[in-house]
Amino acid sequence: EAQVTQNPRYLITVTGKKLTVTCSQNMNHEYMSWYRQDPGLGLRQIYYSMNVEVTDKGDVPEGYKVSRKEKRNFPLILESPSPNQTSLYFCASSLWGGGRPQHFGDGTRLSIL
Amino acid sequence: AQTVTQSQPEMSVQEAETVTLSCTYDTSENNYYLFWYKQPPSRQMILVIRQEAYKQQNATENRFSVNFQKAAKSFSLKISDSQLGDTAMYFCAFMRVKETSGSRLTFGEGTQLTVNP
């Protein structure tokens, strides 16, 4: 089954404790992206990657890091999480070009105390 | 920069009736794509419909159709014969396609639709 898998689905942690949210897709997609969803703001792009070793900032990259060492994986790293990063996070992937629709993971609910 | 605006934070409709969700966007691009995504309480993001800006014909998917007005930069979603399972948050999204930045989506704020029995 074609899918984007995120882990964990829920996480409660404390300020300053490094965490990683994993994202993996099995569709051989070139393009992968991370979004955060906040009430009244919709989804906003954090980082994206157009292929292995090619990443770039989205609209709200501060406080986040990413890497793309393999085509299927695109982890999101919070080196020193803060309460303002409490949010719902989505990973998405798509084929390159032509307005291809993005396929989304099931989301990660992150709470930072 | 592109912006997408959904001016209706909440809407409700009776089962079997028709409802229209509004979306406007701002861009200087001529070639782009527009999408509606549905997010039910399970929080999955589900593609509802896709429109190519260079196509005049409005996209249709079963009970879902759009009214795309390129000059007015308007992209509304019409849901016919509303069903209880249509209850969800609906997001309008704009995709600019450029070689340097890939398939970047800009989302609106969302409209919470409730279908009442």
Residue B30: its pLDDT value, please? 84
Count CB atoms within 10 A of the CB of residue B110.
24
Average pLDDT over residues B112-117: 97
Query: Where in chain A does DSSP place strands (E)?
Result: 4-7, 10-13, 19-25, 31-38, 42-51, 54-57, 65-66, 76-78, 87-94, 103-104, 108-112
Chain A CB within 8 Å of residue B94 CB: no
pLDDT one-digit tens code per residue, A29-80: 999 999 999 999 999 999 999 889 999 999 999 999 999 999 999 999 999 9
State the smallest CA–CA distance between residue A8 and chain B in angstroms.
Answer: 15
pLDDT one-digit tens code per residue, B33-81: 999 999 999 999 999 999 999 888 999 999 999 999 999 999 999 999 9
Average pLDDT over residues B95-112: 81
Judge residue B49's burial from the number of C-beta atoms within 10 Å of its C-beta, 0-12 exposed, 13-18 middle, 19 or more buried: buried
**Does residue A98 have a pLDDT over 90?**
no
Nearest residue on chain B to A88, alpha-carbon basis = B43
Count CB atoms within 10 A of the CB of residue A98.
10
Average model confidence (pLDDT) across chain A: 94
User: How crowded is the C-beta side of A14, counted as CA atoms within 13 Å?
Assistant: 0
> In B, which residues are within 8 Å of A56 by CB distance?
101
Residue A11: its pLDDT value, please? 96
Nearest residue on chain A to B90, alpha-carbon basis = A42
Distance separating alpha carbons of residues A12 and A33, to the nearest angstrom:
23
Residue A1: its pLDDT value, please? 82
Residue B101: its pLDDT value, please? 58
> In A, which residues are within 8 Å of B3 by CB distance?
none
Of the pLDDT bands very low, low, confident and very high (cuts 50, 70, 90), residue A91 is: very high
Compute, in degrees rounded to 10, the torsion defined by CA atoms B34, A50, A97, B73: 20
Residue B43: its pLDDT value, please? 93
- Please list, in sequence order, all residues whose beta carbon lies within 8 angstroms of the beta carbon of residue A64, skipping any fewer than 6 positions away: A34, A46, A47, A76, A77, A78, A85
**Does residue B102 have a pLDDT over 70?**
no
User: How crowded is the C-beta side of B45, counted as CA atoms within 13 Å?
Assistant: 29
Of B102, B108, B109, which is closest to A96 when you measure between CB atoms? B102
Residue B91: its pLDDT value, please? 97
Q: Is A41 left (phi over 0), alpha (psi -120 to 50) or beta?
A: alpha
CB A111 within 8 Å of CB A33: no
CB B66 within 8 Å of CB B36: yes
**Does residue B99 have a pLDDT over 70?**
no
Nearest residue on chain A to B52, alpha-carbon basis = A99
Of A33, A98, A101, which is closest to B35 when you measure between CB atoms? A101
Of the pLDDT bands very low, low, confident and very high (cuts 50, 70, 90), residue B100 is: low
Judge residue B105's burial from the number of C-beta atoms within 10 Å of its C-beta, 0-12 exposed, 13-18 middle, 19 or more buried: buried
Residue A96: its pLDDT value, please? 79
Q: Do B44 and A106 touch (CB under 8 A)?
A: yes
Residue B31: its pLDDT value, please? 85
Measure the CA angle with vertex B65, ends B63 and B66; round to 5°.
160
